Structure 1
Amino acid sequence: MQGAKCSTMVFIPHLSLCLVFATTGCRSWSSGPAFVGSAVNVTVSEGKHAFLPCRVSNLGDKSVTWLKRRSLHIITAGLLTYSPDDRYRVLHPAQSEEWTLHIRTVQAGDSGWYECQVNSDPKITRPVYLIVQDKSHTDPYYTHELEMPRNGTSVQMAGASEVHIQRGSVLSMACTVDHTDQEGPRSVVWYHGATRIRYDDPRGGIAIKTEKTAQRTVSRLMLSGVSPEDSGRYTCRPETGGTAAVTVHVQSGQQHQAAVQQSGHSASRPSLILLVWSLSHLLPRPST
């Protein structure tokens, strides 16, 4: 550092003397620019904002550049944005090591490799991979494409098309598939939004039971201890084609009382009801 004082120690042979000289103009020998932390992947839903991190220490008089690897087009250099797309900008708080690339309202085409570069000698590069998810994958109210049932099969959901239910209660739904002219479906799949529901889902408290007769298949889905995260559109899709859906709103406290009266659904103790419901379908029925 210019103007800093350095102390130099000199030992003189045969004398028990140690002289210390103070000099100016001492230069600090530090390492060059280096990235801090490890490379990361960034996952964001379509339409949201993406923040691609890049932290550089000992930058000195060098500059940081962001570019997209596929096109090799420079997006930003220093604090300046060179891309004609105004969704891009670099975030660099004063006196910090952060050089974050901010992309507003990301699109599917924004997915891919990005590079944070420092024009040191040699040049150093930090890759960041951006994954843009289809918004339907995270939309709990996603509507599946209309699929016509085959061979006269009809699919319908029991009850109202819109359900209001209290937080912490049990949600029960029944999907009926009538198949008078053919054999019934081998399976009926349930979806919450675009996400398939499985009985072993980490959420827990999920029970799925399917009953079959010669002309009808009924699949029942039960969720215990529902929360606002369980709100959304639930769709049943039999393997023979066709879909049926119900929209669920999970509400708290007095907010749900009027809505419950409209939908005809009431709150109940989740653990006991789910246990009784499951046992009633698992235990053998007495023969007549």
Structure 2
Amino acid sequence: MKIVFIPLILIIEIHLLLTECQGKQQKESSANNAVATINSDNIADEILIGPVKEVTAQKGGTAALPCKVMDSGGGIVTWVRRRDRQLLTVGMNTHSVDNRFMIRTSDWSLLIRHVNLEDAGLYECQVATYPVQQNFAKLTVIEAYSVIPGGPDLHVKQGSSLQLECHLIAATEPPIFVFWYQQGRMINYDADPAVNIQLTKNGSILKVEKTKMSHGGNYTCVPSNAKFASVMIHVIEEEEKPAAMHGGDRRNPSPAILASNFLASFLAAVSWRIPSFSNLYPT
């Protein structure tokens, strides 16, 4: 089977070389004319015959570049990266040494797994019919990041509940996992019953019931497909209330209070016996 594909691949690569030469000739012949062109991947300006589909994928995810085939008629479908004219797939087989590229059998879409920033650019899908069918896909790669609302510092009173939310921004697909770290130690699988972690479509939620002083420190959420985010938690120790606010035992007053009460009662009892100064010195 591989021997049969060798001549076919050679024909395709020769066709790509001829196409590139024709593009250069068209550019030279139209140098003095105003022509609407598409500039992509820092390659020479060229006229693209066929639809261009805009595709956005996030770094680390999977990109799906569509190829609209009207009628293959038994023709071979190939995918080419326009930046360097690299032949990526031939039929259902991956021609590139990079095994991240593969064909989706249902619709001839080119799948790029574990997308990186360098994968951005223009791709071409060709169907070997007469005339040749051409489809183009322009891939834009974005890098998602996460945020923890309320940061970078949060204060929580000891004994109250704490909830931290890790939101993904510019993500095109949900995360596979989100790991939480406290002071650099993963806590997703801790046995602490007060800590509960839940994965969501847009990130993760961490809840702490009856916060203790030990729950303070730096918290970091690390999604599988986005940059991490951190927040510093400060647990405020509850201040002790004054004795009067605590409501002490009134049936057993302290000795000082007993002495004060006795003195007040004594002065009230004898005050009527003490003559006033006006009576001692009559006028």
Indicate whether the TM-score tops 0.5: no
What's the TM-score, normalizing by structure 2?
Answer: 0.39
**Structure with the bigger percentage of strand:** 1
